[in-house]
Structure 1
């Protein structure tokens, strides 16, 4: 079986050498055990990094027969870089994993075993979140529950550590979405799947590429890409407010017709006005988010461009390879 491992990289110069060292050692062992073929590959995707990530990828590709690299023309985000690597991978099965070495690479052996037993999708799921802060653990788990409550099918405590078969990748290529949320797309494909549990470690080096701002944006992306629930919530809120407003109108009419003394006050005027104004602005914001997604999708722009790629003259452990821009003559793999 030919295996591809896809790793999106953004400013990962501190961790990449160790990541490559551990993965090539794992590949060697799997080849020795005849679990994977010798022409398996590790695909490192540089997502427009500003440090020496691409230089390191080229160096690693020269040193290892298993490593090759892709360089996107600009930073497009983790999900797009991951998609670029998945679409370029050539394996019978493709495993995606982050570069930070937090996910247990030895869980790949269980994924390969599950693939051989008939699973087209194998999800890597964390056993526990002991390495997370209290805030990160509770917000992450709460987010999965919110997605489930809104009708979005996701795997609890699963990120982007997964194995996909070749036929699943071919099915995934038919999705033309600009607003990517692979954690929601993959379960929709419907092929036989299984789960492999593993323990997550601390980041080996460098810093997280997902600060709170990006985490919130990614969470909102997942909700608005797969669930119309926020729009339906607007309808429900509007109905409740309408019922409440009608009740207040009846009360005001009753007081005017059957009471000789009414107590005038600004509160009964100002509070409903500001309350309704806030609800209207919130509703317009949510509707605008969905309209923006429709606008983005309607343009059908290419999700990414590959600026350069490393190429190899042969797929054997004894032969090196070099980096060159796309579009130039090269020997086919």
Structure 2
């Protein structure tokens, strides 16, 4: 039986103190079984010295490719840059901070070999802070509503994918890649496997609230028109309430012609409707802006340097 080749794609940002250990752990685990493998380390214009560490690793190991991007394009664009250069039959993505245990690599592969196209990790207990855990739950909930994620599937950035899936998603050339949306657009044959989750070895997460918000906007405006439909539904609902309110006011006028319409209620209604209107206009503007940027052929990523092509 010919074993498939495994490709690891790891986006790197702010991980000069962790990336060498992550790579060493992968080599140690892969030595347990006779799989050919490669590592693709993508430097997303990190401000620390992680690129120096990648240069050292590529000089030492010929099966490690180093890619440096010209600017910070974000984790998902960095993944796309790595995916475009994989040669393996199975592609595994994991983070650079050591929280995804390489010891569980074969748990993902064995589950994939049961016939699935994509296998995501799942965690009995996550070692994130409260903010990240809340963000993950919110992301899951929004993914169910907007891109049709099944409720039983949990989405994390440690997963294994078959090569034909990768071949399809790299065809996407838009400037706002969202890996989860691309995966769900290609297949629904997915599963989870429960593994451990380690504490972050060093540093802090690169995902601040603004970056998480940007990621959600990228995913849900690039792969779903449901936000626009929700906006339309809210508009129709408010219009329906206004009709009933007008009928109520007319009835009150004929019941008591001396009734004084309250200034407070009028102002509250104006402010509420105005806020909803501006929110919906902002949402429409977000879609239009992204269409404009896409038509201008904004790059998904720009590769500055490649080591061990």
| Fold in common (TM above 0.5) | yes
More displaced stretch, 147-156 vs 104-113: 147-156
Aligned residue pair count: 305
Secondary structure of 2:304's partner?
strand
Q: Which residue of 2 aligns with 1:288?
A: 285
The corresponding residue for 1:217 is 214
CA distance, structure 1, for counterparts of residue 117 and residue 240 of structure 2: 50
> How does the TM-score come out when normalised to structure 2?
0.89
Of the candidates 2, 6, 11, which is equivalent to residue 5 of structure 2? 2
What residue in structure 2 maps to residue 310 of structure 1?
Answer: 307
Number of the residue aligned with 1:330: none
**TM alignment of 1:36-115, pairs within 5 A:** 36-37=35-36, 40-115=37-112
Deviations 1:67-111 (A, max 9, x none): 220111111111000110111111122111111110121221122
Change (3 A) 1:241 1:55: same
Tell whether the 8 Å contact from 1:102 to 1:200 is kept in structure 2 after alignment: yes
Residue of structure 1 in register with 2:204 after alignment: 207
Residue 160 of structure 1 aligns to a residue whose secondary structure is coil
RMSD: 2.3
Unmatched 5+ stretches in structure 1: 312-332
Deviations 1:179-203 (A, max 9, x none): 2111122122127444322111111
Give the counterpart of 1:153 among 149, 165, 190: 149
Residues in 2 aligned to 1:121 and 1:225: alpha-carbon distance in whole angstroms: 21
Matching of residue 25 in structure 1 with residue 24 in structure 2: no
SS of corresponding position for 2:157: strand
Q: Larger Rg: 1 or 2?
A: 1
Q: Which residue of 2 aligns with 1:188?
A: 185
Partner Cα distance (2:252, 2:80) in 1: 64
Show the counterpart of 1:133.
129
Structure-1-length-normalised TM-score? 0.83
Checking the alignment, whether the CA contact within 8 Å between 2:16 and 2:50 is kept in structure 1 is yes
